[in-house]
Amino acid sequence: MNGLTSPQRIVICFNPAINGAAETANELAIQVSKSDREAWLSALPDPSKQPAEDFRRELERADLLVCVGGDGTVLHASEHAAITGTPVFGVRMGRLGFLSEVTGEEAADALDSVLHGVGRIERRSTVRSEVNGGSPSFALNDVVIGRASLGRTISVGARVDNVLLAEYRADAVVVATATGSTGYALSVGGPILPPESDEVILVPVAPHLTRANALVLSPNCEIDLYVERGFEAVMTVDGLRERPLDSGSRVVVSHGELVVDFVRIGGPNQFYANIAERLGWLRSDHVLDTLED
């Protein structure tokens, strides 16, 4: 199974704010226990309310993390799984998503397959960001530098490998991984990258008097973003962690050392089927009939 064979210790986490997630997670935990494997069930730790030490400790012992919720839940859980090297199997609860492999209704049968070693590992890259030379943060999805207040754009200079690329006057600037290419970056006109690609995307959001070209950059490059003097901004990492950026702040984004392994049931071409379905590209019965002929 490309790195995952019949997992014996499974952590199952859920987002308590999503309807039905706790019930589905509990049913999956019972299923795991009945298969003579060890299951540890937990709500996903809220960093603002509880420490994650117990959760991280259990992940270090686990062969698999089953995450029940939406893409935001999977992103949050993946932050811990990347550090412990635990593969992630996502279950989405009735929401549009690209990170979760199956729906709640499909979860029991799909998990049974995974427990018996059916499936494959899909490895996703991350990016590393440092603010003013401080401690690094890692993002599976994206790093966004956006305006600190409504009604005013920000001005962000961008260098790639020390070459001045642009001076963006915009609502935000997004640096996205392949995983993030189907998120915020896509909504502002960025391209979609294959899921295991190491390349990154740089794209401005609503640029003022500037062409809004998205760039696909080498994973080996270093992206240097700096908030121009007289402006203030906010940086978000995966939409989970936020920090203010003072005038003159510098953010360096580069390839991340961490990776996240996702467990997939379908083949590699399933990604394109998911894209077509979830973005509504195939709306005509005539088109579908033609493709099936």
Catalytic residues: 71
18 contacts 48 by C-beta, under 8 angstroms = no
Residue 14, beta-bridge partner list: 43, 68
User: For residue 66, which phi and psi values (nearest 5 degrees)?
Assistant: -100, 125
How far, in Å, CA of 43 to CA of 115, rounded?
22
Distances (CA, A) of 52 to 43, 68, 88, 243, 284: 11, 17, 17, 20, 47
Nearby residues of 148 by Cβ (< 8 Å), 6 or more positions away:
154, 232, 233, 234, 244, 245
For the beta carbon of residue 290, count every other beta carbon within 10 angstroms: 9
195 contacts 180 by C-beta, under 8 angstroms = no
Tell whether the torsion through CA atoms of 134, 143, 267 and 22 is positive or negative.
positive
User: For residue 258, which phi and psi values (nearest 5 degrees)?
Assistant: -85, 150
